[in-house]
Chain A
Amino acid sequence: MPDTPILQVENLSKFFPVQRGLLRRTVGHVKAVNDVTFTVNKGECLGLVGESGCGKTTVARCLLRLVEPDQGRILLHGEQQTFDIASASRKEMLDVRRQMQIIFQDPFSSLDPRWRVTDVIAEPLLAQKVGRGEAGRRVLDILPTVGLGPHFADRFPHELSGGERQRVSIARALIVSPPLVVADEPVSALDVSVRSQIINLLLDLQGQMNLTYVFIAHDLSIVKHISHRIAVMYLGRLVELGTTQQVFDECKHPYTKALLASVLIPDPTHREQSYVLEGEVPSPLNPPSGCHFSTRCPFAQEQCSVEEPELRDMGGGHWVRCHFAEELDLSEGVFAPQFETQSASA
């Protein structure tokens, strides 16, 4: 596909102040998102992965201006004009919200328990000053698109199952026909037998409505399945960015490799878990000096704990934040290949 950017995130940072005491004095900052730069192209799905506390959800919230970014620009190339979301006015944000919507992780908490399904789905339309009658008609139009019957319109969320709720959540995001959708862990709260339905639905809708996704997840096998490109985050930093193939098969950052090696394979005949990353994710309040991963990295050198590496282009749109990205051989040795092709049982 032609790489036309629809969203450009430049040097995005968000530091949450840590406050203590009676007068809430600021004693430090959690660098939730630290100088993150990436681009999302039209029609693609960009996967954003990392462990808890890596800042992926904060990135999503900054993109929607649900938290105020501290630094950086978020350029959204709309149909007619380009917005900088980071500095958009309230009026511009209303336009932005017609171009970009979000699907939340937990379908149980992201729907107001006191609203009927039709009101939930219509909320973005009403915010855009669409009349109630028109909004109601459009809700009835979109319900079959997400696989729900018209009788769901009058139900309350507590009458719905998790999968049905997530469909409502998807309908709410798509009701204003936004070209860009941020999906924040949309399947991780769902039952196993329902997950594949929702993934299929997201894939279908992307084809039908020509959507672009930013897909945030911690489940690497799902991210691999749905994404064209993948960004890996660790402690607020982007550590690797590339196509799915580059990240999964030719990864250059030790953290990415460790993450891949931790993925459990649903096959009892492949049990060798040759490499398990030691230690814990350090506190984002006080991240290690130099390379944030240096405390857990099996290849860490002296340089790593002193000097913070830059995100460098390795060619072919493959970006890596590691001093030794060129030299490290991550294909074997301590890391056993985990995502090799296997004959899966049927």
Chain B
Amino acid sequence: MSVVSEQAQTPLQPGAPRPPAADVDVTSSEQVASRGRILGARIMANRLGIIGIVWLVITVLIALFADFFAPYSVDHVHQEALRAPPQRVHIFRDGKLTRPFVYGYKSERDARTFLTTYTEDPELVYPIHFFVEAEPYKLWGLISSNRRLFGVEEGGMVALFGTGRLGRDVFSRVLTATRISLSVPIIGMLISVILGSTIGVASGYWGGAADILIQRLTEVLMSFPRIPLWMALAATLPPELSSLHRYLGVTIVLALIGWAGLCRQIRGKTLALKESDFIMAGRAAGSSTPTILFRHLIPNCFSHIVVVATLSIPGLILAESSLSFLGIGITPPLVSWGTLLKDAQSVQVLTKHPWLLAPGVFMVLTVLAVNFLGDALRDALDPYSEIR
């Protein structure tokens, strides 16, 4: 018997103190990272997910404080500048660094086409001031204020995204429209989650004839082409409805169609979980059906619901915009990205007034961001994915 090779990767250190063997009781449980931390780390490791989260945080803040961020109210009209292009923000004047300012417009009318073109007028300088007193507003209908993040002095104007057909500031309108364009999908999603998961869990857990009926119903609902169905339902909203009621109506219409897909997903998950050992164990323990449903089944569906719900939001954003674009969704005085895009219906817009597409850019970025977040959540919650 002889020592042939030292398998040691690190050379033995004869002088090094040897810890007593007794304190090496490493059990499997001590150092395993907790579920939440792993989840967080997995989301943080997903770069697109982070981008999505950052953008969504920004848009939600914009939506919440749109009145404050926007220099003008939705209906503020700049009669002297119709369809004016975006102003550039300058910080150098005569080669010297100054506070940010914009130039006013110099308008010229083309004698042949009668089109007005706007150029910067170096004579008109409007310095941008922060936390200015401007048009008063009521934040969330509660807090009266007249402070806005930025603005120019009385008589000047600032239009970072240009102005629209009636001379309204596109920037302010896009920010304000964020409210509707985010809240309709989110509220619609919540309603469809409540409907979809209740019906899905019930259908999956109890099965039987009701299950067959519900599944056929969702199949029918899902096999209709989406846009005509939305249009048909939205058309049932009476035209004399107030703008606010119409807003609620559109939300409910979207939710009524959106729940079907979610319901099928949740039913599938319920079917799988129903046969799982821990539900069996719960029944063997004698737990009542409400305990099984509300303490075992639904909490274990929850991560699945979150992912499906998140990934359903882009569809709802687009749906609301489509309806509003077609004029059967949100109606003035409320604005959404879709209603704003109504101004951008012609080819002329693309060639001459591309800034009117700004709401579309916001919409695309938001849809992408939600998709990124949804994918990141799904990957993070998938026990089989290991992000290295």
- Kindly list chain B residues whose C-beta atoms are within 8 Å of the C-beta of A101: 284-285
> Closest CB-CB distance, A89 to chain B, in whole Å?
13
Q: B116 at interface (Cβ–Cβ under 8 A)?
A: no
Interface flags, A92-110, vs B, CB<8A=1, else 0: 0110011001101110011
A112 B282 Cβ-Cβ under 8 A: yes
**CB of B296 within 8 A of chain A?**
yes
Residue A225 is within 8 A (CB to CB) of chain B in the complex: no
- 28 residue pairs of the A-B complex, CB under 8 angstroms, read A61-B280, A64-B283, A66-B284, A94-B286, A97-B284, A102-B284, A104-B280, A104-B281, A106-B277, A110-B281, A111-B281, A112-B278, A112-B281, A112-B296, A113-B278, A113-B300, A114-B299, A123-B287, A124-B286, A126-B287, A127-B287, A127-B291, A156-B35, A158-B32, A159-B28, A161-B29, A164-B29, A172-B285
Measured CB to CB, the nearest residue on chain A to B211 is A24
Q: Which residue of B lies closest to A159 (CB)?
A: B29
In contact, A128 and B29 (Cβ under 8 angstroms): no
Q: Are B277 and A109 in contact (CB under 8 A)?
A: yes
Once the chains are docked, how many angstroms separate the CA of A127 from the CA of B285? 7
Which residues of chain B have C-beta atoms less than 8 A from A172's C-beta?
A: 281, 285
Q: Does A155 contact B (CB under 8 A)?
A: yes
Residue picked from A61, A123, A124, most chain B C-beta under 10 Å: A123
| The residue from A109, A124, A126, A152 contacting B276, defined by CB atoms under 8 A apart | A109
CA distance A161 to B287 in the complex (A): 26
B10 lies within 8 A of chain A by Cβ: no
A334→B270 CA distance, assembly (Å) = 50
Which of chain B's residues have a CB closer than 8 A to the CB of A344? none
Please, which residue of chain B has its CB at the minimum distance from the CB of A112? Answer: B278
- Number of A-B contacts defined by CB within 8 Å: 75
Chain B residues touching A, range = 20 to 34
Is B212 positioned at the interface, with any CB of A under 8 Å from its CB?
yes
The reply to whether A128 and B286 form a contact with Cβ atoms under 8 Å apart is yes
Instruction: Give the residue name and chain of the B residue nearest to A169 (CB).
Output: B281
- The interface residues of chain B, by DSSP majority, are classed as helix
List of A residues within 8 angstroms of B29 by Cβ: 152, 155, 159-161, 164
Q: How far is the CA of A115 from the CA of B297 in the complex (A)?
A: 12
The CA of A245 and the CA of B277, in the complex, are separated in Å by: 33
Closest Cβ of chain B to A111, distance in Å, is: 6
Q: Roughly how many angstroms separate A164 CA and B28 CA in the complex, as a whole number? A: 10
CA distance A65 to B167 in the complex (A): 74
Convert A7-25 into 0s and 1s, putting 1 for each residue whose CB lies closer than 8 angstroms to a CB of B: 0000000000000000110
Residues of chain B contacted by A128 (CB below 8 angstroms): 286
**Is B288's beta carbon under 8 Å from chain A?**
yes
Residues 270-324 of B contacting A (Cβ, < 8 Å):
276-278, 280-288, 291, 295-296, 299-300
List the B side residues contacting A111 at CB < 8 Å. 278, 281
Who on chain A is nearest to B297 by CB?
A112
Q: Which 7 A-B pairs have the closest CB atoms?
A: A127-B286, A110-B277, A97-B286, A124-B285, A109-B277, A159-B29, A123-B285
> Given known contacts A112-B300, A159-B32, A160-B29, is B280 in contact with A97 (CB within 8 Å)?
no
Query: Closest CB of chain B to A171's CB: distance in Å?
Result: 12
Instruction: Give CA–CA (A104, B283) in the complex, Å.
Output: 12
- Cβ–Cβ contact B32 & A104, under 8 A: no
* Residues on the A chain within 8 Å of B295, using CB: 112, 115
Q: Is the CB of B281 within 8 A of A93?
A: no
Question: Contacting A127 at CB < 8 Å: which of B27, B280, B288, B299?
Answer: B288
- 8 A Cβ contacts from A61-76 to B: 61, 64, 66
Chain B minimum-CB-distance residue to A113: B300
A110 to B278 alpha-carbon distance, docked (Å): 4
CA distance A192 to B287 in the complex (A): 33
Contact (A109, B285) CB under 8 Å given A114-B300, A159-B29: no
Residue interface mask B13-38, A partner, CB < 8 A = 1: 00000000000000111001001000
Check A66/B283 contact, CB under 8 A, given A109-B277, A111-B278. yes
Other than the given A160-B29, A161-B28, 19 more pairs (CB < 8 A) read: A24-B212, A66-B284, A97-B284, A106-B277, A109-B277, A110-B281, A112-B278, A113-B278, A115-B295, A123-B281, A123-B282, A126-B291, A127-B286, A128-B286, A156-B35, A158-B32, A158-B35, A159-B28, A164-B29
**Chain B residues in 8 Å Cβ range of A61:** 280
Q: How far is the CB of A274 from chain B (nearest CB, A)?
A: 38
Residues of B within 8 Å of A64, CB to CB, are: 283-284
- In the complex, how many angstroms separate the beta carbon of A225 from the nearest chain B beta carbon? 25
Q: Which residue of B lies closest to A161 (CB)?
A: B28
Across the interface, name the chain B residue whose C-beta is closest to A97: B286
Q: Is the CB of B286 within 8 A of A110?
A: no
Give, as a whole number of angstroms, the nearest-CB distance from B237 to chain A: 35
Determine the distance from Cα of A24 to Cα of B283 in the docked complex, in whole angstroms.
26
**A190 CA to B162 CA in the complex, in Å?**
69
Within 8 A of A (CB), among B181-209: none
B295 shortest CB reach to chain A, Å:
8
Shortest beta-carbon distance from A17 to chain B in Å: 12
Q: Which residues of A contact B277 (CB under 8 A)?
A: 104-106, 109-110
